[in-house]
Amino acid sequence: MKKVGVAILGLGVVGGGTYTILTTHREFYQQTQDLDISVENVLELRRERAVELGIDESKIASNIEEICSNPDVDIVIEVMGGVEPAKTFVLKALGAGKSVVTSNKELFCKYSHELENAAKHNHVGLFYEASCVGGVPVIRSLLDNLQGNEITSLVGIINGTTNYILTKMTNDGVTYAEALKEAQRLGYAEANPTADVDGYDAAYKLSILSSISFHKKIPFSCIHREGITGISPIDIQYGKRLGYVLKLLAIGKNTPKGVEVRVHPAFIRKNHPLASVSDSYNAVYITGDSVGDVMLYGRGAGAEPTGSAIVGDVIYCATHTRYRYSTFENTENAKPSTKFISNFGSVYYIRMNAEDKTGELAKVTAILSKCGISVAQVIQEESDASGNFKAPLVVITHMTREEAVNKAISAINENCDSTVVESVIRVVS
Amino acid sequence: MKKVGVAILGLGVVGGGTYTILTTHREFYQQTQDLDISVENVLELRRERAVELGIDESKIASNIEEICSNPDVDIVIEVMGGVEPAKTFVLKALGAGKSVVTSNKELFCKYSHELENAAKHNHVGLFYEASCVGGVPVIRSLLDNLQGNEITSLVGIINGTTNYILTKMTNDGVTYAEALKEAQRLGYAEANPTADVDGYDAAYKLSILSSISFHKKIPFSCIHREGITGISPIDIQYGKRLGYVLKLLAIGKNTPKGVEVRVHPAFIRKNHPLASVSDSYNAVYITGDSVGDVMLYGRGAGAEPTGSAIVGDVIYCATHTRYRYSTFENTENAKPSTKFISNFGSVYYIRMNAEDKTGELAKVTAILSKCGISVAQVIQEESDASGNFKAPLVVITHMTREEAVNKAISAINENCDSTVVESVIRVVS
């Protein structure tokens, strides 16, 4: 039986989950994988956390050098998060001839080129399944199963926090602030929720997933990013009436004209497989030229689902002797030959408050038409009896372009004195 | 760049799709995988089929020996289907030191022990992702991603033909016979549909998937199998009213008390992720002790989706130098230590035709109660005005056991002169 020693850097939620899985399943892996995986070292400043997990004091390393020089450590698991000191530690481990398994999306997104070069140079493995969508087997599927396809598009619900908040707003009709508070109470959102609600987390993951899918580096900086803090329950309700569900989507498209990569709230038809991905569940909907549509669904975060991905990588690393790296030139920035499309096409939902007077709708539709936007659906309602003198006007467009919509909105705000554009949400068909 | 020569045995739907993918993507694989994959030989009795696909006559082999002795062939793709001559050809290829990629579920299900032994003995690879659920990346996910989990259950819609038929019956209210005819017209069902509609195809796949998932051989013969030929549109409609969708499910459970493996029609709650898997789409819903619930969804059949899985295996085979085989003792029969549970627990839907007279419902419920079955829901309707003197009586039970239900049905049929049990369908929660 092959002996495999691992070290865990960081005993936070994911590190603790990984430690627990490895220790409770040790015999199971001996029986089913012919591997004896032992945790030889941990690195954690809070000694009491290590003790709480039942880790022998002798295994708590004082610094990364101690782990790098421990001959019993074959694989270093980095689950600290953030760029530093994680980056320094990972580079040291690779330099010492240890393979690395990481769950660190920000680190891998920003420095995959540097880390992969170091791994290659030292003939060791670098695995990062856990960096994207927790327990959902998406990276391995792209690398080792769908790799015969030209991937034309991927659309994902890849942030659990925002999906929980939007599900809560949809089902209970509460505001963003109320749903966020509940998410924080349940531990689904951080005290400072920016990384999740402003779409950073989803954009890191989209950068990694679209780079692998499209075989070219898609840097974080090239991703159009909008969060969910401005979403109003009114729009979710109108969407429902029109047959749509609101989600924070990460969208990557590879077209002959260029690459589109964007993270933003979007309406999706309620019978689309992604529409029923609720609460903190995640899913990635991948389209390949041969396989057609594939969806991978599961828990995108949490100690055990993310731990499952890490342990999967550890076993993979221990049972595969040849390490593979990105199948494209992994650079810091996109290659100059990569074209990005910012004026992308979409269907749009536009909600306005309009004075309920003759000719107002005609004026608005004339502007849309002048901007080349044709209208697919309209809901115009009477001003309510409560004295609200403005009436909602909701328009769903046919497929149009981002620039045309921006132009139309400016024109409406300038030329229609009694109409205000309240919200614009893209619709994904 | 590594050169990889392949031979394709059989140019049916899947063989043709595989040939087309490999040839149209040759440059793409050179660029993205650093592999030059060429089709060096094909084996197909219908020469005109090979010519129709644009295959050079010089590549059409006369027999398997020619392929086995061709030094340019590294990997043999077997897409003939059926046991013989596929089995003989695969064993010859393995014996000649060629790795084999197969889509043949019946062959792998029945002879995995023999084929894997031959592969191991000859130090070559044997890959079978395409044998189960077409383009859905389920086998690789189980082997190389979720392998850190004890898999406790898998529930799959893994036959496209029956899912198409049941979707048609559900959406259009047509009978089984009408839906089958339409499926045959569209090429979703064979002229002789037995393998699909009687659940053989699903059972082969369940045997393979549950063996991998549970780390022990689960032979086809141990699978409880029922098909969909007896399904009536009435039951689908009652199910709808009760919030259920009818699917042909393949269910595998690994419990401390034993293994449950069964293929049968079942109602599933309409908000379950599997309920929205429609038409010829397939999905597998896997539960692991760490990862929780994961669902993998996509096209389970067809030239290109299955071709995608085959090409994925070819590239995997060419880029991984160490071949792996089943992580359990792969034998012909289940090991004596494997316990199978036939008296499994379930919720049941029971539809009866009952004479609309006082006391009939009381009589039925008394029998159910005597058999230890408690009732969760009842729909009793009046006999219709058209002169139909019997009235439908639908009962949904609480969780009970197979044997209790069989006993209750016999007792109702014996003791209630004016009540006939028309259908019994399991309900999966």
**pLDDT tens-digit map of A241-284:** 999 999 999 999 999 999 999 999 999 999 899 999 999 899 99
Is there a common fold for B2-131 and B345-428? Answer: no
Closest by Cβ to A148, choosing from B148, B312, B322: B312
Chain B residues within an 8 Å CB radius of A314: 148
pTM over 0.90: yes
- Of A87, A98, A168, A205, the active-site residue reads A205
Give CA–CA dist A229/B387, Å, rounded.
62
- Of B92, B205, B216, B247, the active-site residue reads B205
Chain A residues within an 8 Å CB radius of B288: 135, 308
Is it the case that residue A32 has pLDDT exceeding 70?
A: yes
User: What mean pLDDT do residues B17-27 have?
Assistant: 98
User: What mean pLDDT do residues B305-320 have?
Assistant: 97
CA A226 to chain centre: 13
Q: Which of A32-46, B324-338, B399-413 has the lowest mean pLDDT?
A: B324-338
Q: Residue B162 in contact with residue B248, Cβ under 8 Å?
A: yes
| E strand residue ranges, A236-299 | 244-255, 258-269, 281-288, 292-299
Chain A residues within an 8 Å CB radius of B28: 150
User: What mean pLDDT do residues A310-327 have?
Assistant: 92
User: 3-state DSSP call for residue B319?
Assistant: helix
Chain B residues within an 8 Å CB radius of A28: 150
Q: How far is A418 from chain B (nearest CA, A)?
A: 43
Q: How far is A52 from chain B (nearest CA, A)?
A: 20
Closest by Cβ to B321, choosing from A147, A307, A322: A322
Is it the case that residue B69 has pLDDT exceeding 70?
A: yes
Q: Mutation test of the interface with chain A: which of B290, B296, B335, choosing the one with the most A Cβ atoms within 10 A?
A: B290
pLDDT at B62: 95
In words, the CATH class of domain B345-428 is alpha beta
Give CA–CA dist B169/A46, Å, rounded.
60
Q: How far is B359 from chain A (nearest CA, A)?
A: 43
**Mean pLDDT for chain B?**
94
Give CA–CA dist B422/B429, Å, rounded.
22
Give CA–CA dist B6/B102, Å, rounded.
12
Report which of B408, B426, B246 is spatially closest to residue B347, judged by C-alpha positions: B426
A298 contacts B292? CB cut-off 8 A: yes
Instruction: Tell me if the domain spanning B2-131 has CATH number 3.30.70.20.
Output: no
Is it the case that residue A23 has pLDDT exceeding 80?
A: yes
Q: How far is A380 from chain B (nearest CA, A)?
A: 32
Question: What band does A360 get if pLDDT is binned at 50, 70 and 90?
Answer: confident
Give CA–CA dist B11/B31, Å, rounded.
27
User: What mean pLDDT do residues B174-189 have?
Assistant: 95
B316 contacts A135? CB cut-off 8 A: no
Give CA–CA dist A6/A125, Å, rounded.
13
Give CA–CA dist B270/B132, Å, rounded.
25
Is it the case that residue B388 has pLDDT exceeding 60?
A: no
pLDDT in tens, A204-245: 999 999 999 999 999 999 999 999 999 999 999 999 999 999
Query: Is the torsion defined by CA of B135, B103, B295, A273 positive or negative?
Result: positive
A321 contacts B321? CB cut-off 8 A: yes
pLDDT at B165: 97
A136 contacts B21? CB cut-off 8 A: no
Q: List residues bridging with A248 in a β-sheet.
A: A265
Report which of B108, B107, B335 is spatially closest to residue B217, judged by C-alpha positions: B335
A271 contacts B150? CB cut-off 8 A: no
CA nearest to B320 within chain A: A322
Chain A residues within an 8 Å CB radius of B290: 17, 21, 135, 304-305, 307-308, 311
Q: Which of A280-284, A340-344, B90-94, B324-328 has the lowest mean pLDDT?
A: B324-328
Q: Specify which of A369-378, A388-397, B352-361 reaches the highest per-range mean pLDDT.
A: A369-378
Domain ranges of chain A: 2-131, 138-299, 345-428
* DSSP 8-state class, residue A359: T
pLDDT in tens, B211-262: 999 999 999 999 999 999 999 999 999 999 999 999 999 999 999 999 999 9
Q: How far is A382 from chain B (nearest CA, A)?
A: 35
Q: Who's near B304: CB < 8 A, 6+ residues apart?
A: A290, A291, A292, B17, B20, B21, B135
Report which of B58, B109, B62, B103 is spatially closest to residue B79, judged by C-alpha positions: B103
Place of tokens 């055990």: A304
**What is the number of other CB atoms lying within 10 angstroms of the CB of residue B279?**
14
Give CA–CA dist B177/B230, Å, rounded.
10
Is it the case that residue B424 has pLDDT exceeding 70?
A: yes
Closest by Cβ to B140, choosing from A21, A129, A140: A140
**Mean pLDDT for chain A?**
94
Q: Residue A4 in contact with residue A30, Cβ under 8 Å?
A: no
Q: Mutation test of the interface with chain A: which of B123, B146, B167, B291, choosing the one with the most A Cβ atoms within 10 A?
A: B291
Angstrom CA distances, B115 to A335, B68, B87, B155, B169, stand at: 46, 16, 8, 27, 40
pLDDT at B342: 92
- Identity at B238, one-letter amino acid code: Y
Q: Which of B51-55, B343-347, B357-361 has the lowest mean pLDDT?
A: B357-361
Q: Which of A103-112, A410-419, B245-254 has the lowest mean pLDDT?
A: A410-419
User: 3-state DSSP call for residue B251?
Assistant: strand
Q: Mutation test of the interface with chain A: which of B145, B297, B306, choosing the one with the most A Cβ atoms within 10 A?
A: B145
Is it the case that residue A388 has pLDDT exceeding 60?
A: no
A31 contacts B147? CB cut-off 8 A: no
pLDDT at A428: 94
pLDDT at B385: 58
Is it the case that residue B387 has pLDDT exceeding 60?
A: no
Q: How far is B368 from chain A (nearest CA, A)?
A: 36
A147 contacts B129? CB cut-off 8 A: no
Is it the case that residue B416 has pLDDT exceeding 90?
A: no
pLDDT at A383: 65
Question: What band does A394 get if pLDDT is binned at 50, 70 and 90?
Answer: very high
B316 contacts A144? CB cut-off 8 A: yes
pLDDT at B361: 83
Q: Which of A135-144, A192-201, A352-361, B302-311 has the lowest mean pLDDT?
A: A352-361
User: What mean pLDDT do residues A299-307 have?
Assistant: 94
Closest by Cβ to B140, choosing from A25, A145, A294: A145
pLDDT at A384: 60
CA nearest to A271 within chain B: B276
Query: Is the torsion defined by CA of B394, B398, B399, B400 positive or negative?
Result: negative
Chain A residues within an 8 Å CB radius of B311: 148, 290
Give the number of A-B residue pairs with CB atoms closer than 8 Å. 178
Angstrom CA distances, A227 to A186, A195, B370, stand at: 21, 9, 59
Parallel, antiparallel, or unpaired: how do β-strands B224-225 and B258-269 relate? parallel
**Terminus-to-terminus CA distance in chain A, angstroms?**
52
Is it the case that residue B383 has pLDDT exceeding 90?
A: no
pLDDT at A389: 58
pLDDT at A324: 87
Report which of A123, A76, A83, A122 is spatially closest to residue A102, judged by C-alpha positions: A76
- Identity at B168, one-letter amino acid code: K
User: What mean pLDDT do residues A144-168 have?
Assistant: 97
Question: What band does A118 get if pLDDT is binned at 50, 70 and 90?
Answer: very high
Q: List residues bridging with B154 in a β-sheet.
A: B252, B286
Closest by Cβ to A149, choosing from B17, B215, B308: B308
B205 is catalytic: yes
Q: Please state which CATH number belongs to domain B138-299.
A: 3.30.360.10
Residue A96 sits at φ, ψ, to 5 deg, of -85, 5
Chain B residues within an 8 Å CB radius of A299: 291-294
pLDDT at A385: 58
CA nearest to A301 within chain B: B291
User: What mean pLDDT do residues A174-199 have?
Assistant: 95
pLDDT at B136: 97
Closest by Cβ to B147, choosing from A292, A295, A312: A312
A298 contacts B297? CB cut-off 8 A: no
**CA angle (B228, B234, B240) in 5-degree steps:** 90
Helix (H) or strand (E) holding B23: helix B13-24
Chain A residues within an 8 Å CB radius of B145: 129, 137, 140-141, 309, 312, 316
pLDDT at B389: 58
Chain A residues within an 8 Å CB radius of B29: 148
Chain A residues within an 8 Å CB radius of B215: 31-32
Is it the case that residue B386 has pLDDT exceeding 60?
A: no
CA nearest to B277 within chain A: A273
